[in-house]
Structure 1
Amino acid sequence: MTPAGEQVRDPGERVRDPGLQPERTRLAWRRTTLSCTVAAVLAGRAALHQGPTVPGVLACALCLLLWLGFLAVAHRRMVALSACGPRTLSLGTARAAALCTLAFAVCAAAMVF
Structure 2
Amino acid sequence: MRDPGAQPERTWLAWRRTTLSCAVSVALAARVALAEPSGLAVVAAGLGALAWVGLLVTAHRRIGALAQARPGTMGAAQTAGTLLCVLVLIGVGGMMLV
Tell me which interval the TM-score lies in, with the shorter structure as reference length.
0.7 to 0.9
The answer on whether the counterparts of 1:73 and 1:93 sit within 8 Å (CA) in structure 2 is yes
Aligned partner of 2:54 in structure 1 is 69
Aligned partner of 1:100 in structure 2 is 85
> CA offsets, 1:77-97, max 9 Å, x none?
111111222112222212111
User: 3-state DSSP class of the match of 2:89?
Assistant: helix
Q: Which has the larger radius of gyration?
A: 1
Q: Distance in 1 between matches of 2:39 and 2:87?
A: 23
Flag structure 1 segments of 5+ consecutive residues without an equivalent. 1-14
Higher helix share: 2
> CA offsets, 1:9-31, max 9 Å, x none?
xxxxxx44252211110111011
Q: CA RMSD in A?
A: 1.6
TM-score for both structures, normalised by structure 2 = 0.86
- Higher RCO (CA 8 Å, separation ≥ 6 residues): 2
TM-score for both structures, normalised by structure 1 = 0.76
Aligned residues between the structures: 98
Q: Distance in 1 between matches of 2:62 and 2:73?
A: 9
Does residue 42 of structure 2 align to residue 60 of structure 1? no
Q: Distance in 1 between matches of 2:97 and 2:45?
A: 14
Report the identity percentage.
46
Does residue 65 of structure 2 align to residue 80 of structure 1? yes
